[in-house]
A = this chain, B = another copy of it.
């Protein structure tokens, strides 16, 4: 019967005693800060193995002032996690691990500044990764004057002094318009994210729409935007409203994955063929989401893995004392043609 008693973790003292050396020698064998003879090292390592010794994380952290922990502030009660989020969480975790750091997802509401302040003050984590950053984000201020290194995934309006990685959303609209204009589309509908998110200053929404609208005006393209919540149902309604208002649109840009699926459903039910009758182009759909829409969507998006990896690396750079250099990174949009766009049906050549 395997008793589930508390198997008291062996300590450095135990290892030292068993190996017949002093405690500091054990330390140096572990860290390599000072040379140790191969002979002694072997004895120590054997003792560690038979005792199942693992250094106590908290004692290590206390003594060295380095916990090896990074926090990824994990938004709760918000827009849910989509595939892209997953991608960069995974990539950031892996990148942090490569540098010897553990990345923890710390559930925390965006508004809960008090908890955040306590988290960084109690010194458990060495650095913080912030996602779902808003245009004006109260958390940034807290982090800034806490002295804790941090890196944003996204950015605030006023971020020239900050460390961040973000997608270059300003290019998404123009890139999409040029592509569609080349195909002859001059009347384009957009199904974007909910107005709530925009008003809260959600970066991807804010930064994308304006350049898109500005360029459309310059190019003489008619744009009609519908904002929808991130549900299939909302997407259906948005598509119906959109086509009712503007029956002549020949192309649709989607920036809201669930809503896009809803739009596709309605289009399918109406016998609208894609791309023959209607071109479709989606923002921000990840590779994993490719199978989530039928037909697959031609996409302008971001490499989530790249973002996550860069974020972790920037943060680690700050931890390693790089206080001076500007660490800011904007990923170029990725255009993936999956055949959901084609020549405009009226063929104005």
Contact residues of A with B, CB < 8 Å? 2, 4-7, 9, 52, 54-59, 61-62, 67, 74, 76-77, 80-81, 83, 86, 89-90, 93, 102-107, 118, 121-124, 144-147, 229, 231-234, 236, 258, 261-262, 264-265, 268-269, 288, 291-294
Q: What residues of B have a CB within 8 angstroms of the CB of A86 in the complex?
A: 80-81
9 nearest CB pairs, A to B: A105-B105, A231-B291, A54-B121, A57-B122, A57-B124, A233-B291, A58-B61, A93-B107, A104-B104
**A–B Cβ pairs within 8 angstroms, 27 of them:** A2-B144, A2-B145, A4-B144, A54-B118, A54-B122, A57-B122, A57-B123, A57-B124, A58-B62, A58-B67, A58-B123, A59-B62, A62-B62, A76-B89, A76-B90, A80-B81, A103-B107, A104-B105, A104-B107, A105-B106, A105-B107, A229-B291, A231-B292, A262-B294, A265-B294, A268-B269, A269-B269
Q: What residues of B have a CB within 8 angstroms of the CB of A264 in the complex?
A: 265
CB distance from A290 to the nearest CB of B (A): 9
Identical copies in the complex: 2
Nearest residue (CB) in B for A61 is B58
Contact A123 B56 (CB under 8 A): yes
CB distance from A115 to the nearest CB of B (A): 9
Q: What residues of B have a CB within 8 angstroms of the CB of A2 in the complex?
A: 144-145
Cα–Cα, bound, A292→B256 (Å): 13
CB distance from A100 to the nearest CB of B (A): 13
Nearest residue (CB) in B for A77 is B90
Q: What residues of B have a CB within 8 angstroms of the CB of A291 in the complex?
A: 229, 231-234
Q: What residues of B have a CB within 8 angstroms of the CB of A231 in the complex?
A: 291-292
Choice from B105, B122, B146, B232 contacting A56 with Cβ under 8 Å: B122
Choice from B104, B261, B268 contacting A261 with Cβ under 8 Å: B261
CB distance from A267 to the nearest CB of B (A): 11
Cα–Cα, bound, A261→B268 (Å): 13
Contact A236 B294 (CB under 8 A): yes
CB distance from A196 to the nearest CB of B (A): 15
CB distance from A239 to the nearest CB of B (A): 12
Cα–Cα, bound, A74→B103 (Å): 11
Q: What residues of B have a CB within 8 angstroms of the CB of A103 in the complex?
A: 107
CB distance from A152 to the nearest CB of B (A): 15
Contact A5 B104 (CB under 8 A): no
Cα–Cα, bound, A60→B269 (Å): 62
